Amino acid sequence: MTAPARRRTWPITGVVIAALVVAHVLAWRDTEFSPGALIEGWEGMARFISEALPPDLDWEAVVLPGLQACLTTLAIGLLGTTLSIPAALLFAVLGARNFTRGKVVYQSARAVMSFLRAVPDVVFALVFVTAVGLGPFAGVLALICHNVGVMGKLWAEAMEESDTGPADALRVSGAKEWQVVAHAVLPSVVPTLVGLLLYRFDVNVRSSLVLGLVGAGGIGFLINQSIQLFAFDEMVTYILMVLALIVAVDVLSGHVRRRLAFER
């Protein structure tokens, strides 16, 4: 970079740094961030830790229900991921700029996916709890809605980055659009789509834990119940179970993603 160019960039850099400093100062004030308050509350934290440790390992009352709830949480994440595949794939195809010729269709698909992403899965869970009642079913429906928006966008971007040569060749030969997608687009991006799907499954298992806090079942419901009853030793046991579940899912999905990357 020449000296004149550097002189022109310095004022811009200074403005950006000043804006960031001001933004952090305002954020600090708005969030009432206070390390001193945290230090002053050490007695409450110490009392909480003393009540939470050691964890309650009663098999019948705590451990067995916790394991069953972990399986429910895993099932919510699994169904919330797999049942969203058809709709996510449809919106991904319609929302891929290089494969959707109609601008209205493209913009409509993108708008729907943006809406589904913008609404948190917890909000969807609250809506479905009022419709179908408390339980895992509401959590599955919430994850399906939110995951369609997220996974559809990720898949659409993967399709946009794919090689358009085979698709153009099929179009020139007279193939219909669905034939182009089925025989040229999807085969070239399947490993990427599967990798993104596994990533979303990993995220959805974590999300299903949070959904349990609002009545969607699973281990999150037991954690919320133990907090309300001030049974912090039970809460710690459930959190340890969640940790083991998350690590197992992360290791499994990471292994599969590495295998897919290696095969490519």
Whole-angstrom distance, CA of residue 33 vs CA of residue 145 = 35
Higher pLDDT, 197 or 100: 197
The mean of the pLDDT values for the chain is 78
The CA–CA distances, whole Å, from 242 to 159, 205, 207, 250 equal: 35, 10, 12, 12
What is the per-residue pLDDT for 92? 84
Q: Confidence class of residue 171 from pLDDT cuts 50, 70 and 90? A: low
pLDDT at 155 over 80: yes
Q: Choose among 80, 141, 90, 131: nearest CA to 112.
A: 90
pLDDT at 168 over 60: no
> pTM of the predicted model, to two decimals?
0.75
Whole-angstrom distance, CA of residue 99 vs CA of residue 177 = 8
What is the per-residue pLDDT for 125? 86
Whole-angstrom distance, CA of residue 111 vs CA of residue 231 = 45
What is the per-residue pLDDT for 105? 81
Q: Confidence class of residue 228 from pLDDT cuts 50, 70 and 90? A: confident
Q: Classify 59-263 by CATH class.
A: mainly alpha
Whole-angstrom distance, CA of residue 76 vs CA of residue 30 = 36
What is the per-residue pLDDT for 260? 63
Among 29-33, 54-58, 212-216, name the most confident range: 29-33
Helix, strand or coil, per DSSP, at residue 34: coil
**Where are the alpha helices (H) located in the chain, listed in sequence order?**
3-30, 35-40, 42-52, 64-82, 85-94, 103-118, 121-132, 136-160, 165-172, 177-180, 186-212, 219-228, 232-263
Higher pLDDT, 159 or 177: 159
Among 46-55, 122-131, 186-195, name the most confident range: 122-131
Rg of the chain over Cα atoms, rounded to whole angstroms, equals 24
Whole-angstrom distance, CA of residue 237 vs CA of residue 262 = 38
Whole-angstrom distance, CA of residue 184 vs CA of residue 108 = 24
- Mean pLDDT, rounded, for 147-171: 74
User: pLDDT tens digit string along 3-22?
Assistant: 555 555 667 777 788 888 88
Among the listed ranges 38-47, 200-209, 247-256, which one has the minimum average pLDDT value? 38-47
Among 145-154, 195-204, 230-239, name the most confident range: 145-154
Q: By CB neighbour count within 10 A (0-12 exposed, 13-18 middle, 19+ buried), where does 160 fall?
A: middle
pLDDT at 30 over 70: yes
Q: Confidence class of residue 185 from pLDDT cuts 50, 70 and 90? A: low
Whole-angstrom distance, CA of residue 97 vs CA of residue 216 = 36
Q: Where are the domains of the chain?
A: 3-47, 59-263
Whole-angstrom distance, CA of residue 260 vs CA of residue 195 = 7
pLDDT at 132 over 60: yes
